[in-house]
Structure 1
Amino acid sequence: MRQRNKPWADDFLRENTDLIIPNANEYKNKWKDLFGNDSPIHVEIGTGKGQFIVGMARQYPHINFIGIELSKSVIVTAAQKVQESGLSNIRLIQENAENLLELFMENEVDTIYLNFSDPWPKNRHEKRRLTFRTFLERYEEVLHPSGELIFKTDNRGLFEYSLVSFSEYGLLLKEVSLDLHRDDDPENIMTEYEEKFSAKGQPIYRCKAVFN
């Protein structure tokens, strides 16, 4: 989906470097120093407009959350939500997920969230899917050995593809839900997309996995 240009985005990025971290690679293996505590680090790849990460940070104040989002016009919207929340356990990074290894040290992350990632439905674009094996290699390196990969989508084709990808890579599937809202997980925090699709009756799929 094409995002509307925000002419003020560059100024916002320059004025809020305490929240949207520039030169984030400089904090590799130092994220706990930036947060000023030893709390676990959870990373959302593709943080969108920020509803999920703000909800999670509010629900789990003892966890540090880092949101990665490539789109400048989207990340500034997420940052505004963070500012309005008053929460101090969130930081954002404008970066491509392909550069994950430049941002985090081995075993530095405790949980990775993939929420409503672009399905890239054409076969020739398979390598762009965030559940393709080259991305799984990156996740495995930065995740703590006991860390979780949590994946949510409304796209059944992507979900089925991802389950196969996880299995072939050797991940252990801890949970597979084919209709998350019917299962009624009281701890589930919805993204903006999730609210939209769920309201239309679209089932939401979720998988929790660990590297075996």
Structure 2
Amino acid sequence: MGSKNKLKRFKENETFSNVVQPKREEIFEGFELKGKWNEFFKNDCPIVLELGCGKGEYTIGLAQRNPEKNFIGIDIKGARFWRGAKSAQEEKLENVAFLRTQIELIDNLFDESEIDEIWITFPDPQIKYKRTKHRLTNPVFLKKYKHILKPEGVVHLKTDSEFMHGYTLGLLQGQGDEILYSNHDVYKNAGSPSEVLEIQTFYENQYLEQGKPITYIQFRIN
């Protein structure tokens, strides 16, 4: 993507009512929406996050299917989620927002027990050992998720990485967390939720064309 196109998207994001882009000092000095996200959506519906939302395809797909829930796509790359934010505006999806931030800061942006569900879709598996701290299901991230999730809150992991799937399963079992459902090839083995099968991102379609199995885990952090 050219720099001019990126700048255009950054500018347009600033005009979207469904895009929140806090400055770093705002995040650490007391983010005004922390604990008040239902006020942002003007309802008391459950709040669901998609972490590393990319173009926002999954956030939009979930919001279209679940008008009784609010969805927030989170990514640091605003020029990327611009597409999702614009689509939500065009389709008048009032239960969608996009938040530009680093995922490791989410416990500064959401209050304790404020979130009902978290989706992690096709994250970078960070296979090298020295990159373990960046894996979105490592113990540090899981602790942050537990803090912002309601006691019965659920996390969904959908990935093309068998490594990420196995790493997460092993970690959850070791910690004594509750694995609600696991499938190492959702399109080959029946039983996955419809939202896992019916929403496909651009990259997921590429993985499927390459013959890569898509895996899914649904779990609760105890």
Query: Which residue of structure 1 lines up, in the alignment, with residue 40 of structure 2?
Result: 34
Aligned to 1:9: 9
How far the C-alpha of 1:4 sits from its partner, in A, is: 5.5
1:70-99 deviations in whole A, cap 9, x for unaligned? 112212122122223221100100000000
User: How far apart are the structure 2 equivalents of 1:129 and 1:187?
Assistant: 23
Which digits, 9 at most, give the CA deviation of each residue in 1:164-207, with x for residues without a partner? 12222331101010111123543322222222212332110000
Q: Say whether the 8 Å CA contact 1:131–1:166 is kept in structure 2.
A: no
Deviates more, 1:105-114 or 1:158-167: 158-167
**Contact 1:57–1:90 under 8 Å retained in 2:** yes
Please show how residues 57-96 of structure 1 align to structure 2 within 5 Å. Answer: 57-96=63-102
8 A contact 2:142–2:221 mirrored in 1? no
User: How big is the alpha-carbon RMSD for the aligned residues of Structure 1 and Structure 2?
Assistant: 1.5
Alignment of 1:115-130 (within 5 A): 115-130=121-136
Give the match's secondary structure for 1:15. Answer: coil
CA distance in 2, matches of 1:97, 1:9: 21
The answer for the alignment partner of 2:212 in structure 1 is 202
1:158 maps to 164
Aligned-pair identity (%): 31
1:19-41 Cα distance to aligned partner (Å, 9 max, x none): 11133731110000111111000
Aligned pairs, number? 209
Bigger Cα displacement from structure 2, 33-42 vs 166-175 = 166-175
Question: Which residue in 2 is equivalent to 1:171?
Answer: 177
Amino acid at match of 2:208: S
Match of 2:203 in 1: 193
- Give unpaired runs (5+ residues) of structure 1: none
CA positional deviation for 1:7 = 2.4
- TM-score, length-normalised on structure 1? 0.93
TM superposition score normalised by structure 2: 0.89
Q: Does the aligned pair in 2 maintain the 1:120–1:126 contact within 8 Å?
A: yes
Q: Could you tell me whether the CA contact under 8 Å between 1:4 and 1:73 is conserved in 2?
A: no
- More moved, 133-142 vs 178-187: 178-187
Matched letter for residue 187 of structure 1: E
What is aligned with 1:103? 109
Looking at structure 1, the residues matched to 174 and 139 of structure 2 have their Cα atoms a distance apart, in angstroms, of 9
Distance 1:137 1:72 in 2: 26
Structure 1 residue runs of 4 or more that deviate by more than 3 Å after TM superposition: 183-187
**Are the counterparts in 1 of residues 18 and 85 from structure 2 also a CA contact under 8 Å?**
yes
Residue in 1 that maps onto 2:19: 20
Give the Cα–Cα distance (whole angstroms) in 1 for the partners of residues 116 and 91 of structure 2.
23
Deviations 1:115-158 (A, max 9, x none): 00011111101010001100000000000010101001001111
Q: Does 1:45 align with 2:55?
A: no
